[in-house]
Amino acid sequence: MSVSNPSHRPIGIYDSGIGGLTVLKTLIEQLPNEKFIYFADTANLPYGNKTPGEIIQFSHNIISWFQNTMQTKLVIAACHTSSALALNKLSDNTANFDIPIIGTIYPMLNTIINSKQHNNIGIIATKASIESKIHENIFKAHGFNGKIVSISCPNFVPIIEADSIDHKELDYHAEIYLREFIKEDLDTLIFGCTHYPLIKTNIAKLLPKHIKYIDPAEHIARDTIALLTNNNLLNSLNQTSNQSNLTFYCSKDADKFGSKIKNILHIHADINLHMPLQYCLS
């Protein structure tokens, strides 16, 4: 793929599976002229129970593929686990990436720190993200001095990625995970995994009505627009806001992944979905 004007290049976005589609959906609405390539690392799903070394390696492979093979102008890590464990390592000079990378955590930072509405925060995320303590460390380093209660929810992603969601099983685990929050008098819940907005109804019915939910998708979209604008990378040429702007790749089970894309993004026609031949884990 060779595109000379950088602004005409696509935006790469990735997750372990369908979670990042919650971010892609918002991006498509707010950036209708952009072309997106979505990669789901379904062969390595779930990332949340992998070691930091594995998560760094998967993320490195995907970002390299976006930069070198797909020539994207930007990469969005629509995966908290990758953002938490890998992005600080991959953003330094030794990683050889010269395109910008946006993660899930920094885009919501200003809202957390500057809004008076978020004082007692609950965070739900994968085991790897919670064990990294990245949210606490970043928020506190930037002056947040409220309460933060973090809970890992390892059963959520496998249930959400199953052929169909078993709501009984989901509610059973949600009740156990969220019990702790009810005692804590929280005002805010952060979806610290991009899969979780897909089960917001199951979560919200267990928590007090006044809780405010932070879905990083809106914040990521705002930062993406700012980055493209400030670097003269907004695509002004492509005026076709339609499905041809979307290309999907996954590393396993393409049929299963394809039908989930259609459900989540409400697409009724054929989708442009491939398994990348060049992609390998070495």
CB atoms inside a 10 Å sphere around CB 224: 24
Give dist(CA 158, CA 5) in Å, integer: 41
Alpha helix locations (H) across 167-273?
Answer: 167-183, 200-204, 216-230, 254-265
Helix and strand numbers, DSSP H then E, in the chain: 12, 10
15 binds ligand DGL per the rule CB under 6 A: yes
Nearest to 266 by CA among 12, 16, 75, 22: 22
The residue within the footprint of ligand DGL, chosen from 26, 42, 59, 81 (CB under 6 A), is 81
The residue within the footprint of ligand DGL, chosen from 19, 103, 122, 197 (CB under 6 A), is 19
User: Is the previous residue joined to 32 through a cis bond, with omega within 30 degrees of 0?
Assistant: no
HSE-up of 56 (CA within 13 Å, CB side)?
Answer: 12
The residue within the footprint of ligand DGL, chosen from 126, 150, 202, 235 (CB under 6 A), is 126
216 binds ligand DGL per the rule CB under 6 A: no
Nearest to 7 by CA among 73, 92, 60: 73
217 binds ligand DGL per the rule CB under 6 A: no
Q: Indicate which residue of 153, 193, 250, 280 is catalytic.
A: 193
User: What torsion, rounded to 10 degrees, do the Cα atoms 79, 84, 87, 88 define?
Assistant: 170
Applying CB under 6 A, the span of 31-39, 78-86, 206-214, 226-234 interacting with ligand DGL comes to 78-86
Chain centroid to CA 246: 17
Applying CB under 6 A, the span of 3-11, 16-24, 201-209, 257-265 interacting with ligand DGL comes to 16-24
- Ranges within 156-195 binding ligand DGL (CB under 6 A): 157, 193-195
CB of 235 to ligand DGL, least distance (A): 26
107 binds ligand DGL per the rule CB under 6 A: no
The residue within the footprint of ligand DGL, chosen from 48, 107, 122, 197 (CB under 6 A), is 48
Residue 207, CA distances (Å) to 171, 189, 193 in order:
12, 10, 18
46 binds ligand DGL per the rule CB under 6 A: yes
Active site residue 79: yes
The residue within the footprint of ligand DGL, chosen from 13, 55, 79, 265 (CB under 6 A), is 79
The residue within the footprint of ligand DGL, chosen from 9, 35, 80, 260 (CB under 6 A), is 80
Residues at the interface with ligand DGL (CB under 6 A): 15-17, 19, 45-48, 79-81, 126, 129, 157, 193-195
Q: Which residues are catalytically annotated?
A: 79, 193
